[in-house]
Amino acid sequence: MIDIQEALSQVLESSQNYGQEKVPLMESVGRFLAEDIHTDRDAPPFDRVTMDGIAIQLGDLENQPLGSYPIQGIQAAGLPQMTLENRKHCIEVMTGAIMPKNADTVIPYEEVEIQDGQAKINLEKIAKRNIHYRGSDSRQGEKIIANGKKINAADIGVLATVGKITVKVSNLPDVAIISTGDELVNVDETPQEHQIRKSNVYSLWAGLMKDGIKPEMFHITDDKTELEDKLKGLLKDFDVLLLSGGVSKGKYDMIPEVLDDLGVQKSFHRVAQKPGKPFWFGFHKELNSKVFAFPGNPLATYVGYQFYFRQWLHQSLGEKLQFNVCTLGKSLPGNPKISQFVPVQINKKNGEAMPIKNNGSGDLFSLSQTEAFLLVPRREGENQAGEKFQLIEMS
């Protein structure tokens, strides 16, 4: 049995690049950038008016702007640059417009009185120019989004601004989700007393969809020949197999043995963690497929996906997945042998993580109340309220 950090580092070591593709801008959201993004122009691309008002030629900010300025015209946003022809005149300017030539200061309408084509300035002291100067955010050619970033809604706006109609992104791995366990029946069936409906595969499916991956779902019965036949095919057809169940010490927990027979190299089996101790991870060298075999208990599968698979995915395709830390809101007994993923809700008033009651790793319903897992490393003594731990947020 290995420690959680050792398990994670072995999982991350098997990260893998699946190549790149170009997708239209609007399909790139949620994907990992596979190129640096540079500005195509200075930003802003021109001296940009930031207030509606009048533009004058003031010179020094110390100068006295008081007086009446005949209005030469209107510089609207979207119109080519005008020129202030007379330094005692002004041009009305609109937010977002290019600053007229020869003008250097915008006086907002709030400080101006307009009558009979004249703008009278009511402001004695000028504090600022109200210009967003060309290139003051960034210079043409500057890197503004780094290769590897997971593209969010704000990035889409940035990509649009620099004219990226297509975006180079990392290919996503093909993922198979596989349930095992003869006690499982389909969602549309009525289980007999000793049976339950499948659930983990649906949670995995929903999680993967949120990460942009469209997985396929399979079920294999607890029959060694069937397991071998089907897993053999899936190892060939998919980049990643996410298994749920079949890795404990039971008579029908044949997954580790079958994977071994099929040439999948075991990285580890069993991690000093709760839930999810019997987690098995390995890879097939020739076929280049990875196998995450999670224990079948709902919390074990779910936390395994969130902690191991998602870090592996980020490491493989782009930027590192960084979890936040969060303050424990209530003392918890420590466990010197095992690290714990503690299901928590976040207290919205003070931001602290409050452990929620659950009935062990089989308690699926508590998972629906869980906002995140606090990763409390194995240690002697108590975990004190007020200490900070990594927060594994639900994707």
Q: Is 199 in the site for a copy of itself (CB under 8 A)?
A: yes
Q: Which helix (H) or strand (E) holds 129?
A: none
Say how many residues touch a copy of itself, by CB under 8 A.
Answer: 110
Q: Which class for 312: exposed (0-12), middle (13-18), buried (19 or more C-beta within 10 A)? A: buried
Placement of tokens 């801008």 in the chain: 25
Could you say which residues in the range 179-198 bind a copy of itself, by CB under 8 A? Answer: 181-184, 187-198
Among 113, 351, 379, 385, binds a copy of itself (CB under 8 A): 351
Could you say which residues in the range 237-256 bind a copy of itself, by CB under 8 A? Answer: 245, 248-253
Q: Is 296 in the site for a copy of itself (CB under 8 A)?
A: yes
CB of 120 to a copy of itself, least distance (A): 17
- Please identify, using beta-carbon distances, which residue of 90 and 235 lies nearer to a copy of itself: 90
Closest-CA residue to 256 (of 285, 218, 224): 224
Cα(191)–Cα(325) distance, integer angstroms: 41
Q: Is 41 in the site for a copy of itself (CB under 8 A)?
A: yes
Pick the stretch among 14-22, 71-79, 264-272, 377-385 that binds a copy of itself (CB under 8 A).
71-79
Other beta carbons within 10 angstroms of residue 297's beta carbon come to: 23
Q: In what order do the strands lie in the sheet with 118-121?
A: 105-108, 53-56, 90-93, 67-75, 118-121, 112-115
Q: Is 79 in the site for a copy of itself (CB under 8 A)?
A: yes
Pick the stretch among 8-16, 235-243, 263-271, 349-357 that binds a copy of itself (CB under 8 A).
349-357
Closest-CA residue to 395 (of 365, 363, 366, 373): 373
Could you say which residues in the range 150-169 bind a copy of itself, by CB under 8 A? Answer: 152-165
Could you say which residues in the range 84-123 bind a copy of itself, by CB under 8 A? Answer: 92, 94-98, 108-110
Name the DSSP letter for residue 349: T
Cα(91)–Cα(56) distance, integer angstroms: 7
Closest-CA residue to 389 (of 371, 377, 372, 380): 377
Could you say which residues in the range 49-68 bind a copy of itself, by CB under 8 A? Answer: 50, 52
At residue 314, what are phi and psi to the nearest 5 degrees? Answer: -60, -45
CB of 309 to a copy of itself, least distance (A): 12
Q: Is 225 in the site for a copy of itself (CB under 8 A)?
A: no
- Please identify, using beta-carbon distances, which residue of 265 and 324 lies nearer to a copy of itself: 324
Could you say which residues in the range 357-386 bind a copy of itself, by CB under 8 A? Answer: 359-360, 362-368, 370
CB of 259 to a copy of itself, least distance (A): 18
Cα(51)–Cα(107) distance, integer angstroms: 8
